[in-house]
């Protein structure tokens, strides 16, 4: 907290060992096992890509096509989204150089503003954003897996089982967890590449040209189309949570963010290109399952099973990434004395934050069983972008205090950073405009964490 007022103390924090900040009683924690630095740049890149690509890419193209109606504008929206995500990746890459601490985005918010801001982010992540999202993705995985393997287990019970199984696997260590995530990401990329290859065999129904057909109506539609596109590109920032377990976070996280976002942009453009080419703008807008419509039209009923496999693999990989990354935030909160100290426990053999992992898995399973995930997600979908925008602004704060990063500097800062922050908060404003009730409910839940923070803060001082 004091670093917000004293730049000298902030400089001391910058020089602490990477990610090894202790809690309120350093003497008591001196001999406890710590997280192990075992993630390299390849696995980090797979984490970035795995945090972005879920099942949305198989659906979202039609949402964009209903807003803009020419191939150039449809593809242009996905290019613009990719450039926005890349700007964010540049910013987070420099933040990783300036603050290579445990918790990534949590640490950036804490050190730039106030521990309260970071706590509210962790509060929303644990109780709503991450756990609700994981519950929804787990149920989606089960629904598509049932089309491949016939089983009679209720969806909610199966989803909870998957969540706890993946959580237990990640308790066995960051090496096993990251390798599993990388394997699933490779299979996911290969599967999507297969879909793209099949899609290009279709007879094109429209010629892809560079004529956007610009007018006032199309520009308004283009702005509306960017909202779901930016949501589709979200998730890359969660890889920053793992900075405390990367071998060289100042180098590897920066590279992984840029490599991963560029890779996802190319994948998204390829998927949308085959959809526009094979279905045309009107055909794309007419179906809410564009990739399935395209593939089944080429290979028939076999396409349905292939699509089920593709979505099952994609959702499982996305789920694995979330289970691996987010518990590091709760672990960092415990180390800061702002959560139960037991959540900061690490196994001596695998160096995994097992308590944080199991807590998240249990809460996500509970939400899946209760069936409240869709309602929860509608409340907080804009809250994440508030914190991402604040994290972008944090680069201004750190540069003013200590200058730019030495190993990586955001290209064209401050213009790149300004563009990214405006894009994030445009999403927030649009969400509050279109869904005010849900957004204000989410904001109320977020603010409910304020008294909880002061409770933990007072307990920490005592």
Query: What tens digit of pLDDT does each residue of 320-335 get?
Result: 999 999 999 999 999 9
**Residue 372 located in a structural domain:** yes
State yes or no: pLDDT of 26 exceeds 60: no
State yes or no: pLDDT of 121 exceeds 90: yes
Upstream peptide bond of 280 is cis (omega within 30 degrees of 0): no
**CB atoms < 10 A from the CB of 300, how many?**
9
**Half-sphere exposure (CA, 13 Å, Cβ side) for 424?**
24
Which strand (E) or helix (H) includes residue 62? helix 60-65
Lowest mean pLDDT among 1-15, 84-98, 204-218: 1-15
**Residue 200 located in a structural domain:** yes
Lowest mean pLDDT among 107-111, 271-275, 368-372: 368-372
Average pLDDT, the chain: 85
State yes or no: pLDDT of 210 exceeds 70: no
**Residue 91 located in a structural domain:** yes
Cα 325 from chain centroid (whole Å)? 9
**Residue 303 located in a structural domain:** yes
Cβ contacts of 245 within 8 Å, gap of 6 or more: 19, 35, 36, 37, 38, 39, 174, 328
* Mean pLDDT value of segment 283-288: 89
State yes or no: pLDDT of 98 exceeds 70: yes
pLDDT in tens, 424-434: 988 888 888 88
**Residue 18 located in a structural domain:** no
pLDDT at 14: 39
State yes or no: pLDDT of 21 exceeds 60: no
Kindly calculate the radius of gyration of the chain based on its CA atoms and give it in whole angstroms. Answer: 22
pLDDT at 227: 84
Q: Which segment, 78-87, 305-314, 399-408, is predicted with the most confidence on average?
A: 78-87
Place 262 in a pLDDT band, splitting at 50, 70 and 90: very high
In terms of Cα–Cα distance, which of 179, 144, 138 is closest to 324? Answer: 179
State yes or no: pLDDT of 9 exceeds 50: no
| φ, ψ for residue 246, nearest 5 deg | -90, 145
* Mean pLDDT value of segment 174-199: 91
State yes or no: pLDDT of 18 exceeds 50: no
- Exposed, middle or buried by CB within 10 Å (0-12, 13-18, 19+), for 459? exposed
DSSP 8-class letter at 353: -
Q: How many domains does the chain have?
A: 1
pTM: predicted TM-score of the whole model, two decimal places: 0.86
Distance CA(326)–CA(331), nearest Å, equals: 9
In terms of Cα–Cα distance, which of 365, 38, 370, 329 is closest to 177? Answer: 38
**Residue 290 located in a structural domain:** yes
* Mean pLDDT value of segment 404-424: 90
N-terminal to C-terminal alpha carbon distance within the chain: 16
Lowest mean pLDDT among 83-92, 142-151, 207-216: 207-216
State yes or no: pLDDT of 27 exceeds 50: no
State yes or no: pLDDT of 362 exceeds 70: yes
Distances (CA, A) of 107 to 62, 192, 330, 420, 455: 37, 34, 11, 20, 20
| φ, ψ for residue 39, nearest 5 deg | -100, 130
Give the SS3 label for residue 246.
strand
377 or 443, greater pLDDT: 443
Cβ contacts of 454 within 8 Å, gap of 6 or more: none
Cα 215 from chain centroid (whole Å)? 34
State yes or no: pLDDT of 17 exceeds 90: no
- Exposed, middle or buried by CB within 10 Å (0-12, 13-18, 19+), for 419? middle
* Mean pLDDT value of segment 178-194: 92
3-state helix, strand, coil in the chain (%, to 5): 75, 0, 25
Place 207 in a pLDDT band, splitting at 50, 70 and 90: low
**Residue 23 located in a structural domain:** no
Give the SS3 label for residue 39.
strand
DSSP 8-class letter at 320: H
62 or 2, greater pLDDT: 62
CATH of the domain at 71: 1.20.1740.10
130: domain range? 35-461
Distances (CA, A) of 162 to 131, 140, 148, 281: 13, 11, 16, 38
Distances (CA, A) of 450 to 94, 309, 334, 430, 456: 29, 43, 17, 25, 10
Determine contact, residues 419/410, Cβ cutoff 8 Å: no
pLDDT at 3: 41
Distance CA(10)–CA(14), nearest Å, equals: 6
pLDDT at 16: 43
pLDDT in tens, 336-358: 999 999 999 998 888 899 999 99
**Residue 177 located in a structural domain:** yes
């Amino acid at each position: 907290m004091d670093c917000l007022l004293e730049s000298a103390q902030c400089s001391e924090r910058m020089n602490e060992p990477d990610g090894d900040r202790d809690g309120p009683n350093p003497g008591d924690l001196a001999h406890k096992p710590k997280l192990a630095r075992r993630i390299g740049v390849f696995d980090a890149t797979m984490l970035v890509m795995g945090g972005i690509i879920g099942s949305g890419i198989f659906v979202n193209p039609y949402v964009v096509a209903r807003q803009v109606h020419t191939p150039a504008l449809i593809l242009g929206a996905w290019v613009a989204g990719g450039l926005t995500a890349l700007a964010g990746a540049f910013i987070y890459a420099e933040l990783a150089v300036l603050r290579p601490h445990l918790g990534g985005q949590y640490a950036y918010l804490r050190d730039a503003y106030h521990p309260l801001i970071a706590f509210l982010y962790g509060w929303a992540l644990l109780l709503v954003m991450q756990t609700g999202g994981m519950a929804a993705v787990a149920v989606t995985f089960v629904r598509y897996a049932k089309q491949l393997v016939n089983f009679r287990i209720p969806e909610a019970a199966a989803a909870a089982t998957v969540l706890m199984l993946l959580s237990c696997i990640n308790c066995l260590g960051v090496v096993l967890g990251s390798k599993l995530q990388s394997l699933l990401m490779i299979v996911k990329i290969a599967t999507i590449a297969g879909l793209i290859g099949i899609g290009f065999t279709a007879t094109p129904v429209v010629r892809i040209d560079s004529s956007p057909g610009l007018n006032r109506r199309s520009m308004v539609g283009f702005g509306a189309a960017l909202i779901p596109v930016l949501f589709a590109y979200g998730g890359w920032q969660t890889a920053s949570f793992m900075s405390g377990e990367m071998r060289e976070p100042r180098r590897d996280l920066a590279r992984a963010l840029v490599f991963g976002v560029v890779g996802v942009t190319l994948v998204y453009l390829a998927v949308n290109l085959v959809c526009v080419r094979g279905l045309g703008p009107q055909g794309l807008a007419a179906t809410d399952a564009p990739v399935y419509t395209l593939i089944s039209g080429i290979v028939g009923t076999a396409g349905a099973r292939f699509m089920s496999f593709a979505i099952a693999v994609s959702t499982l990989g996305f789920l694995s990434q979330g289970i691996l990354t987010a518990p590091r935030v709760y672990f960092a909160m415990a180390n800061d004395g702002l959560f139960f100290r037991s959540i900061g426990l690490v196994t001596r053999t695998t160096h995994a934050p097992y308590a944080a992992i199991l807590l998240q898995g249990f809460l996500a399973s509970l939400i899946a069983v209760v069936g409240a995930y869709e309602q929860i997600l509608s409340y907080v979908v804009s809250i994440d972008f508030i914190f991402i925008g604040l994290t972008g602004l944090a680069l201004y704060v750190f540069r003013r205090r200590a200058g730019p990063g030495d190993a990586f500097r955001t290209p064209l800062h401050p213009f790149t950073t300004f563009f990214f922050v405006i894009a994030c908060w445009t999403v927030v404003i649009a969400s509050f405009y279109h869904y005010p009730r849900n957004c204000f409910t989410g904001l109320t839940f977020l603010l409910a964490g304020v008294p909880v923070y002061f409770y933990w803060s007072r307990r920490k001082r005592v």
